[in-house]
């Protein structure tokens, strides 16, 4: 089955773009680490891929479980940040690890804000 890319309004969203940037940096790091650390770096990359997937669903207005997808997004980004710590000294460019951590923090913050906004709107009484 062919892969269907997200809609343009999702791809252009800053949260989605942050997840893609994190995914790219994690992939670069995965390629740079020594062979004995590849498995750890791969798990870091997988966590960022999951974050991108959850962002796609969280940002989709037609997704029925958006608050849950925002929670999943925050959890995946937090997992990636945790997995980055033992690998950060292996990055060829230390700035890459810093930028990755900044992106992951940005994603967690945005996911929590998105979940809060959806929760507040669902608690607002209808007119």
C-alpha torsion angle, residues 2, 49, 27, 84 (rounded to 10): -170
Cα(15)–Cα(20) distance, integer angstroms:
9
User: What value does the mean pLDDT take over residues 11-34?
Assistant: 96
- pLDDT at residue 115 is higher than 60: yes
The confidence score (pLDDT) of residue 1 equals 45
Question: How far apart are the C-alpha atoms of 38 and 84, rounded to whole Å?
Answer: 12
Mean pLDDT of 16-22: 97
For 45, the domain range is 8-118
Residue 40 covered by a domain: yes
Q: What is the pLDDT of residue 48?
A: 98
Count of domains observed in the chain? 1
Assigned domain for 78 exists: yes
pLDDT (0 to 100) of residue 109: 97
CATH of residue 89: 1.20.1440.60
């Amino acid at each position: 089955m062919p892969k269907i890319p997200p809609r343009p309004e999702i791809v252009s969203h800053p949260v989605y773009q942050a997840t893609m940037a994190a995914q790219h940096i994690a992939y670069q790091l995965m390629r740079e680490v020594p062979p004995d650390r590849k498995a750890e770096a791969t798990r870091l990359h997988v966590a960022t891929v999951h974050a991108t997937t959850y962002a796609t669903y969280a940002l989709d207005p037609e997704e029925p479980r958006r608050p849950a997808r925002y929670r999943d997004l925050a959890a995946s980004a937090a997992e990636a940040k945790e997995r980055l710590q033992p690998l950060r000294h292996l990055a060829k460019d230390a700035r890459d690890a810093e930028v990755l951590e900044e992106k992951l923090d940005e994603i967690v913050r945005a996911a929590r804000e998105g979940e809060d906004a959806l929760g507040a709107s669902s608690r607002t009484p209808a007119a």
